[in-house]
Structure 1
Amino acid sequence: MDWFSLILAGIFEMFGVTMINKLHKDRNRKSLILLFFGFGASFICLSYAMKTLPMGTAYAIWTGIGASGGAILGMLLYGESKDWKRLVFITMVLSAAVGLKLVS
Protein backbone atom coordinates (compact mmCIF):
# COMPACT_ATOMS: atom_id res chain seq x y z
CA MET A 1 0.00 0.00 0.00
CA ASP A 2 2.96 2.33 0.60
CA TRP A 3 4.11 2.18 -3.03
CA PHE A 4 0.57 2.75 -4.27
CA SER A 5 0.33 5.79 -1.99
CA LEU A 6 3.66 7.07 -3.29
CA ILE A 7 2.60 6.73 -6.93
CA LEU A 8 -0.70 8.43 -6.10
CA ALA A 9 1.27 11.24 -4.42
CA GLY A 10 3.22 11.70 -7.66
CA ILE A 11 0.03 11.82 -9.70
CA PHE A 12 -1.44 14.45 -7.38
CA GLU A 13 1.84 16.36 -7.72
CA MET A 14 1.41 16.33 -11.51
CA PHE A 15 -2.15 17.59 -11.06
CA GLY A 16 -0.96 20.39 -8.77
CA VAL A 17 1.67 21.49 -11.28
CA THR A 18 -0.95 21.52 -14.04
CA MET A 19 -3.16 23.69 -11.84
CA ILE A 20 -0.30 26.18 -11.37
CA ASN A 21 -0.28 26.64 -15.15
CA LYS A 22 -4.07 26.88 -15.27
CA LEU A 23 -4.11 29.43 -12.45
CA HIS A 24 -1.46 31.47 -14.23
CA LYS A 25 -3.68 31.59 -17.35
CA ASP A 26 -7.17 31.86 -15.83
CA ARG A 27 -6.74 33.56 -12.43
CA ASN A 28 -9.93 32.15 -10.95
CA ARG A 29 -10.89 30.70 -7.57
CA LYS A 30 -11.61 27.20 -8.92
CA SER A 31 -8.04 26.83 -10.24
CA LEU A 32 -6.64 28.01 -6.90
CA ILE A 33 -8.77 25.55 -4.93
CA LEU A 34 -7.78 22.70 -7.25
CA LEU A 35 -4.12 23.69 -6.90
CA PHE A 36 -4.33 23.47 -3.09
CA PHE A 37 -6.23 20.20 -3.35
CA GLY A 38 -3.63 18.66 -5.67
CA PHE A 39 -0.63 19.58 -3.57
CA GLY A 40 -2.43 18.86 -0.29
CA ALA A 41 -3.42 15.38 -1.44
CA SER A 42 0.11 14.85 -2.74
CA PHE A 43 1.68 15.69 0.63
CA ILE A 44 -0.83 13.52 2.52
CA CYS A 45 -0.11 10.52 0.28
CA LEU A 46 3.65 11.14 0.48
CA SER A 47 3.45 11.34 4.26
CA TYR A 48 1.59 8.04 4.40
CA ALA A 49 4.13 6.36 2.11
CA MET A 50 7.04 7.63 4.23
CA LYS A 51 5.75 5.75 7.27
CA THR A 52 7.30 2.60 5.80
CA LEU A 53 9.54 3.73 2.91
CA PRO A 54 12.91 5.40 3.41
CA MET A 55 12.71 9.19 3.10
CA GLY A 56 15.33 9.44 0.36
CA THR A 57 13.69 6.81 -1.82
CA ALA A 58 10.16 8.17 -1.31
CA TYR A 59 11.17 11.75 -2.00
CA ALA A 60 13.22 10.88 -5.09
CA ILE A 61 10.42 8.85 -6.62
CA TRP A 62 7.79 11.46 -5.72
CA THR A 63 9.76 14.27 -7.33
CA GLY A 64 10.66 12.07 -10.32
CA ILE A 65 7.02 11.30 -11.03
CA GLY A 66 6.03 14.93 -10.53
CA ALA A 67 8.82 16.39 -12.67
CA SER A 68 8.64 13.93 -15.55
CA GLY A 69 4.85 13.77 -15.43
CA GLY A 70 4.65 17.56 -15.47
CA ALA A 71 6.93 17.70 -18.50
CA ILE A 72 4.87 15.06 -20.30
CA LEU A 73 1.61 16.87 -19.49
CA GLY A 74 3.17 20.08 -20.79
CA MET A 75 3.93 18.35 -24.07
CA LEU A 76 0.48 16.79 -24.37
CA LEU A 77 -1.70 19.64 -23.12
CA TYR A 78 0.24 22.85 -23.72
CA GLY A 79 2.23 22.24 -26.89
CA GLU A 80 5.66 22.21 -25.27
CA SER A 81 8.58 20.85 -27.29
CA LYS A 82 8.61 17.10 -27.90
CA ASP A 83 12.28 17.12 -28.88
CA TRP A 84 13.91 13.70 -28.66
CA LYS A 85 16.49 15.01 -26.19
CA ARG A 86 13.74 15.98 -23.72
CA LEU A 87 12.21 12.53 -24.07
CA VAL A 88 15.58 10.87 -23.41
CA PHE A 89 16.05 12.79 -20.16
CA ILE A 90 12.48 12.19 -19.03
CA THR A 91 13.09 8.49 -19.64
CA MET A 92 16.26 8.70 -17.56
CA VAL A 93 14.36 10.25 -14.64
CA LEU A 94 11.67 7.56 -14.79
CA SER A 95 14.31 4.83 -15.13
CA ALA A 96 16.04 6.12 -11.99
CA ALA A 97 12.74 5.97 -10.10
CA VAL A 98 12.18 2.39 -11.22
CA GLY A 99 15.77 1.57 -10.25
CA LEU A 100 15.17 2.91 -6.74
CA LYS A 101 12.11 0.70 -6.46
CA LEU A 102 14.11 -2.33 -7.55
CA VAL A 103 16.86 -1.80 -4.98
CA SER A 104 14.59 -0.76 -2.10
Structure 2
Amino acid sequence: MAWISLIIAGIFEMFGVLMIHKVHQNPNVNTVILLMFGFTGSFLFLALAMRSLPMGTSYAVWTGIGASGAAIMGMIIYGESRNWKRVLFIALILTATIGLKLTS
Protein backbone atom coordinates (compact mmCIF):
# COMPACT_ATOMS: atom_id res chain seq x y z
CA MET A 1 0.00 0.00 0.00
CA ALA A 2 2.88 2.37 0.76
CA TRP A 3 4.24 2.04 -2.77
CA ILE A 4 0.82 2.80 -4.23
CA SER A 5 0.63 5.91 -2.01
CA LEU A 6 4.07 6.94 -3.23
CA ILE A 7 3.09 6.56 -6.89
CA ILE A 8 -0.08 8.59 -6.26
CA ALA A 9 2.06 11.25 -4.54
CA GLY A 10 4.27 11.40 -7.65
CA ILE A 11 1.25 11.78 -9.90
CA PHE A 12 -0.05 14.64 -7.77
CA GLU A 13 3.45 16.17 -7.94
CA MET A 14 3.37 16.06 -11.75
CA PHE A 15 -0.08 17.67 -11.71
CA GLY A 16 1.19 20.42 -9.39
CA VAL A 17 4.09 21.16 -11.72
CA LEU A 18 1.71 21.38 -14.68
CA MET A 19 -0.40 23.84 -12.70
CA ILE A 20 2.67 26.01 -12.02
CA HIS A 21 3.06 26.26 -15.79
CA LYS A 22 -0.66 27.08 -16.17
CA VAL A 23 -0.44 29.80 -13.50
CA HIS A 24 2.37 31.42 -15.48
CA GLN A 25 0.28 31.25 -18.66
CA ASN A 26 -3.04 32.35 -17.19
CA PRO A 27 -3.00 33.43 -13.55
CA ASN A 28 -6.45 33.07 -12.03
CA VAL A 29 -8.00 31.79 -8.82
CA ASN A 30 -9.09 28.42 -10.25
CA THR A 31 -5.61 27.59 -11.49
CA VAL A 32 -4.04 28.55 -8.16
CA ILE A 33 -6.58 26.36 -6.33
CA LEU A 34 -5.70 23.44 -8.63
CA LEU A 35 -2.00 24.08 -7.98
CA MET A 36 -2.58 23.95 -4.21
CA PHE A 37 -4.71 20.81 -4.63
CA GLY A 38 -1.91 19.10 -6.57
CA PHE A 39 0.84 19.84 -4.07
CA THR A 40 -1.39 19.17 -1.05
CA GLY A 41 -2.27 15.74 -2.45
CA SER A 42 1.38 15.14 -3.23
CA PHE A 43 2.54 15.86 0.32
CA LEU A 44 -0.32 13.94 1.93
CA PHE A 45 0.34 10.77 -0.05
CA LEU A 46 4.09 11.15 0.47
CA ALA A 47 3.48 11.33 4.22
CA LEU A 48 1.33 8.19 4.05
CA ALA A 49 4.05 6.33 2.17
CA MET A 50 6.71 7.42 4.64
CA ARG A 51 4.86 5.69 7.48
CA SER A 52 6.31 2.39 6.30
CA LEU A 53 8.97 3.21 3.69
CA PRO A 54 12.39 4.69 4.51
CA MET A 55 12.54 8.47 4.20
CA GLY A 56 15.44 8.48 1.73
CA THR A 57 13.83 5.96 -0.59
CA SER A 58 10.43 7.66 -0.41
CA TYR A 59 11.83 11.09 -1.18
CA ALA A 60 14.06 9.84 -4.02
CA VAL A 61 11.23 7.92 -5.68
CA TRP A 62 8.79 10.81 -5.20
CA THR A 63 11.15 13.34 -6.76
CA GLY A 64 12.08 10.88 -9.52
CA ILE A 65 8.44 10.40 -10.49
CA GLY A 66 7.78 14.14 -10.30
CA ALA A 67 10.86 15.23 -12.23
CA SER A 68 10.76 12.62 -14.97
CA GLY A 69 6.98 12.77 -15.25
CA ALA A 70 6.99 16.55 -15.57
CA ALA A 71 9.74 16.40 -18.20
CA ILE A 72 7.85 13.76 -20.20
CA MET A 73 4.59 15.70 -19.94
CA GLY A 74 6.42 18.84 -21.08
CA MET A 75 7.57 16.98 -24.17
CA ILE A 76 4.11 15.58 -24.91
CA ILE A 77 1.88 18.54 -24.00
CA TYR A 78 4.11 21.56 -24.65
CA GLY A 79 6.39 20.28 -27.40
CA GLU A 80 9.58 20.61 -25.37
CA SER A 81 12.80 19.18 -26.78
CA ARG A 82 12.94 15.41 -27.33
CA ASN A 83 16.70 15.42 -27.70
CA TRP A 84 18.14 11.91 -27.23
CA LYS A 85 20.36 13.12 -24.36
CA ARG A 86 17.35 14.45 -22.49
CA VAL A 87 15.46 11.18 -23.01
CA LEU A 88 18.53 9.21 -21.87
CA PHE A 89 18.77 11.11 -18.59
CA ILE A 90 15.05 10.78 -17.95
CA ALA A 91 15.48 7.03 -18.49
CA LEU A 92 18.35 7.05 -15.98
CA ILE A 93 16.11 8.74 -13.39
CA LEU A 94 13.41 6.12 -13.97
CA THR A 95 15.97 3.29 -13.81
CA ALA A 96 17.32 4.58 -10.49
CA THR A 97 13.77 4.90 -9.15
CA ILE A 98 12.98 1.30 -10.10
CA GLY A 99 16.30 0.21 -8.59
CA LEU A 100 15.37 1.82 -5.27
CA LYS A 101 12.04 0.01 -5.35
CA LEU A 102 13.74 -3.33 -6.00
CA THR A 103 16.24 -2.88 -3.17
CA SER A 104 13.78 -1.63 -0.52
Taking structure 1 as the reference length, the TM-score comes to 0.99
What CA distance in whole angstroms lies between the structure 1 residues aligned with 2:97 and 2:30?
32
The residue type paired with residue 19 of structure 1 is: M
AA at the equivalent of 1:63: T
Secondary structure, in 3 states, of the residue corresponding to 2:13?
Answer: helix
- How do 1:1-104 and structure 2 match up within 5 A? 1-104=1-104
Say which SS state the counterpart of residue 61 (structure 2) adopts: helix
One-letter identity of the residue aligned with 1:17: V
Shift of the alpha carbon at 1:79? 1.1
Letter in 1 for 2:78: Y
Runs of 4+ in 1 over 6 A off after TM superposition: none
Aligned residues: 104
Q: Give the CA RMSD over aligned residues.
A: 0.4
TM-score normalised per structure 2: 0.99
Whole-angstrom CA distance in 2 between matches of 1:64 and 1:17: 13
Q: Which runs of 5+ in 2 are unaligned?
A: none
| Superimposed CA distance per residue, residues 58-92 of structure 1 (whole angstroms, 9 cap, x where no aligned partner) | 00000000000000010011110011110000000
The residue type equivalent to 1:87 in the other structure is: V
